Amino acid sequence: MSRSPVILGLNSVYHESSACLVRGADLLAFAEEDRFNRIKHAKTAKIDNADELPRNAIDYCLATASLGWRDIDFVAMSFDPDRRSAPGPEPTVVGGWGDPDGEREFIRRVRSIPARLSQYAGVDLTTKCMWVPHEYAHAASAFYPSSYREAAVLSLDGIGEYSTGLLAHGSSSGIEELGCLYYPNSIGMIWEKISKFIGLNEYDAAKVMGLAAFASPEKFVPDMKQLFFDGSKSMDVDIDILRFRVEDYAPLEELFGPRRQRGERIDTRDAQLAAALQQVTEEALLSFCTELADRTGSENLCLAGGVALNCVANGRLAREGQFRSIFVQPMAHDAGTALGAALQINQAESGGRFEMVSPYLGPGYSEAEMESELARSGLPWSRLPDAPAAVARLIAAGQIGGWFQGRAEVGPRALGNRSILADPRRPGSKELINLRVKHREYFRPFAPSVLAEAAHDWFEIFGESRSFEFMSFAFAVRRDKYPLVPAVLHVDGTSRLQIVRQATNPRYHRLISEFEKLTGVPLLLNTSFNTSDEPIVLSPGDAIRTFQNTGLDFLVLGDFLVSRPLTAEWSI
């Protein structure tokens, strides 16, 4: 093949369904299905939907790249059914995960994906489909887009086929496996189980991470270590207690007391449990990374898998770990495996290497599309001659608003193109956003976006990482700055910060710079532009609907401003 092959990467077996197109060193398109179908995580991981394709994401990628199905040389799928091991002895639900009948049906559906894709395409793609092991797809999503020529690589998540983690070394030769974790030794699944134990759901790891700062971990650390290690120095999960495959919490209740029911008020016990889970997770990550540093001799570390979204643990790795530089894939959850699977095949077929210099890889919309949606909405709007300066003035005056610009950021965190923005100086900003839009729990912090030029003056930042731009690390706020930014200061004195560089996002950088001119504070409160029950907005229509259904003061689409009169109810 004289040209670099065109590779369609797909993730669709569990959740966070996504698609991408890669050719040589170029990422032609990437999209997450939930942004289109407006269902959080695109779908819930079930046995009977493992063959459900991310059709909207696929269609977007093909249209954006101006390619047809016959232009596809390979289809890389981030799951290898041949690696799914026979279920072991553990409590299961008949026909469910881990049950022999359930597992057979699951694998049958996974193996049907090439045929289903061919049927959708109207072209036989079955001979072009290639299975990529899930953890390798995670690892590839982090190593190949990094700028490192070589690096230690760590992937940790819930479960792939049967593996739950991968320790590896990345180099020009590819990704060399150094060690693997296998079910039930899963940090991700422990977080899911404990999240449900304290009355949340399996997708609420970020909430548990925020809750952990409200208590001391000591009370439950010994028992939590028993869950992780079962008396061993290496990970050895006690499946008799955790019972991942069934909604049985009796063994956990013997250790930690009654399970919190959904909707019940979370109390000190739950915070202590979250704190213990966070501490033991950090210690496990430090142990894995120490092993990787010793075995690879590398100064660089690449992280992926859902566990890599734990910004508190990442901050500790930056402070205490043995690596000079850390790259965290911003879509470290399963959405990133579509990219990783494509890059893994791309490495073998072309050797080209895509480098991720920006997280703004999703769909974008033209000014005409924005204006058309505004006209359709019937809302009054105006064009701003200088949107960054105008919005800085609105925020400095205490207003909160939606900021919709350029191409969408990828991954679960808003990074300044699909964001709700507020004044970090005002103690009430957090409560105001929760009252009007988010309706989040009191223990969940909001994040700051800070100018790169001022970041070290405001935060205690360790090491080097392009991922500081991806909101992947929590660092301490400098103590003399505490009184200046109470709305983004977590109870433990940290913030999950995003560094904003002019070269990466000039418009957002300009907005924060204008805010600094007005206030002397070089950062803004930034949270994702969505309500609690929907994915981050993607299109102008999504942004307008969310604006209409919430109490945001204003919405800016490109240079277009939509605002509503302030009332006593919404005033600060």
pLDDT, tens digit, 9 for 90 and up, residues 193-208:
999 999 999 999 999 9
Tokens of 27: 């990422």
Greatest extent of the chain over all pairs of C-alpha atoms, in Å: 67
**Do 134 and 162 form a contact (C-beta atoms < 8 A)?**
no
pLDDT digits (tens, 9 = 90+) for 389-401: 999 999 999 999 9
Q: How confident is the model at residue 569 (pLDDT cuts 50, 70, 90)?
A: very low
Q: Are 236 and 230 in contact (CB under 8 A)?
A: yes
Q: Where does residue 269 rank: exposed (0-12), middle (13-18), buried (19+ CB within 10 A)?
A: middle
Average pLDDT of the segment spanning 154-163: 97
* Mean pLDDT of all residues in 88-93: 91
Low-confidence winner among 230-234, 372-376, 522-526 (lowest mean pLDDT)? 230-234
Catalytic residues, by residue number, are 15
Q: Percentage of residues in the chain with pLDDT exceeding 70?
A: 98
Query: What residue type is assigned to position 358 of the chain?
Result: S
Q: Which regions of 299-339 does DSSP assign to beta strands (E)?
A: 300-304, 325-328
Check residues 337 and 350 and name the one with the higher pLDDT. 337
Q: Report pLDDT for 567.
A: 45
Q: How confident is the model at residue 86 (pLDDT cuts 50, 70, 90)?
A: confident
Is a pLDDT exceeding 90 seen at residue 72? yes
Q: What confidence score (pLDDT) does residue 87 get?
A: 76
Residue 304 has pLDDT above 50, yes or no: yes
Kindly state the average pLDDT of the residues 322-351. 96
Residue 337 has pLDDT above 80, yes or no: yes
Tokens of 94: 């008949």
Q: Is the pLDDT of residue 568 over 50?
A: no
Is a pLDDT exceeding 60 seen at residue 217? Answer: yes
**Calpha distance 298→150 (Å, rounded):** 7
Q: What local confidence, expressed as pLDDT, does residue 88 receive?
A: 82
Residue 210 pLDDT greater than 50, yes or no:
yes
Dist. CA 11–CA 76, nearest whole Å: 9
Q: State the pLDDT at residue 465.
A: 95
Question: Which two structure tokens, joined as six digits, stand for 429?
Answer: 């900003």
pLDDT of 240-267, one tens digit each? Answer: 999 999 999 999 999 999 999 998 999 9
pTM: 0.96
Residue 552, pLDDT score: 97
* Cα gap 507→390, rounded to integer Å: 13
C-alpha distances (whole Å) from 239 to each of 244, 253, 361, 385, 456 are: 7, 15, 40, 61, 44
Q: What is the pLDDT of residues 316-333, one digit of tens each?
A: 999 999 999 999 999 999
